[in-house]
Amino acid sequence: MSVDGEMGELLTLTSETPLPTVEGLQRSVLVEGEKTAFPAGDDARASVTIFNGKTGETINHLAAGPLPNDAEQLQGADWAYEAVRCAAEGQRVAIVVPAGDAVGGDPADQGFTDVAKDDPFVFVLDFLAPYDQFADCESLTPRDEQYPEVDLGDGTSEPTITIPECIEAPEELEIEVLVEGDGAVVAADQNIMTNYVGVYWNGAERFDGSWNETGVQFSTAAGALIDGFTQAMVGQKIGSTILVTVPSELGYDDGNTRTFVLQLVGPAPAG
């Protein structure tokens, strides 16, 4: 197994494809790291690039974020626990699993029409140095006094959101257009292909996200999304990237303020 790319960045699969079919999960270390493994129960910090082992295509890339070294927390994601359970800082680990196991069923149901259940999917994880999730306010350069700070990178991989410890969570919905698109304006009751990443305000811990070339389908119909998402998307232009901070009552009503970066990739395909 061979890949190309800087540690923690979007990688390229350089092995000849199609890779052989596999039975069960296979783990290999591509780059050796430190000798001391992450303690059980602690969070490691890892980026993940996912490949279709049949075609060599990149399926998704997840920017560096916390990965718990805990089997219970990673239930249903065996590939992730097998990668982290004996990993160490600086290590690059490849996990190869049958596509059916990776998607939890028939790959065709997830849009992989030419992939059989025993064809391989490849997860490559780069384990990076831990970092302080709060930023030092004195080191930040405010954008017209707007926070949090966002590193969009080249726009093809998941952005990084930094929340200063000294800034209190807003009580109302905050929307900021980071990149203005030039497409049509998003209407209510419309299906949109969207990339997104979300972090908790209290600690900037990533809790959810998906970032790839096509995006995932969201609907702006009433009740389809949390209210903060719907309000942020309607009226924006396709192609825009938006920073949205959502108070609990406009989100999941669990007492947590969350901050998201949304990228409005395009209208959903007809049908």
CATH number of domain containing 95: 3.10.50.40
State the pLDDT at residue 76: 83
The span from the CA of 173 to the CA of 231, in Å, is 9
Summarised one tens digit per residue, pLDDT across range 73-106 is 898 889 999 999 999 999 999 999 999 999 889 9
The SS3 assignment for 233 reads helix
Highest mean pLDDT among 109-113, 132-136, 161-165, 245-249: 245-249
Q: For residue 41, which of 66, 65, 76 has the smallest C-alpha distance?
A: 66
Specify whether the CB–CB gap between 33 and 93 falls below 8 A. no
Quick one: what percent of the chain has pLDDT higher than 70? 92
Q: Does 150 lie in the same domain as 29?
A: no
Q: Which domain holds residue 78?
A: 3-127
How many CB atoms neighbour CB 265 within 10 A?
A: 22
**Mean pLDDT, residues 195-214 taken together:** 85
Q: Does 91 lie in the same domain as 24?
A: yes
Q: Does 146 lie in the same domain as 96?
A: no
Please identify, among 94, 127, 160, the residue that sits at the C-terminal boundary of a domain: 127
Q: Does 140 lie in the same domain as 115?
A: no
- pLDDT of residue 165 exceeding 90: no
Quick one: what percent of the chain has pLDDT higher than 90? 53
Instruction: Return the minimum-mean-pLDDT range out of 103-107, 127-131, 150-154.
Output: 127-131
Banded pLDDT at 123 (limits 50, 70, 90): very high
Please identify, among 127, 162, 182, the residue that sits at the C-terminal boundary of a domain: 127
What one-character DSSP code corresponds to residue 146?
A: B
**Mean pLDDT, residues 13-21 taken together:** 94
| Domains held by the chain: number | 2
Specify whether the CB–CB gap between 259 and 164 falls below 8 A. no
Q: For the chain, where are the E strands, in sequence order?
A: 3-4, 12-13, 26-31, 43-52, 58-68, 92-98, 120-127, 134-135, 149-151, 160-164, 174-179, 191-200, 206-210, 216-219, 241-246, 258-267
Q: Does 115 lie in the same domain as 221?
A: no
Banded pLDDT at 135 (limits 50, 70, 90): very low
State the pLDDT at residue 166: 67
The SS3 assignment for 83 reads helix
Q: Does 138 lie in the same domain as 117?
A: no
Q: What is the pTM of this model?
A: 0.56
Q: Does 58 lie in the same domain as 167?
A: no
Please return the burial class of 23, using the count of CB atoms within 10 Å of its CB with bins 0-12, 13-18 and 19+: exposed
State the pLDDT at residue 205: 79
**Mean pLDDT, residues 33-39 taken together:** 89
- pLDDT of residue 51 exceeding 60: yes
Please identify, among 102, 127, 152, the residue that sits at the C-terminal boundary of a domain: 127
Banded pLDDT at 31 (limits 50, 70, 90): very high
Beta bridge partners of 23: none
Burial 171-186 (b: 16+ CB within 10 A, else e): eebbbbebeebeeeeb
Summarised one tens digit per residue, pLDDT across range 174-203 is 999 999 999 999 999 899 999 999 988 876
In whole numbers, what is the pLDDT of the chain averaged over residues? 87
**Mean pLDDT, residues 223-241 taken together:** 92
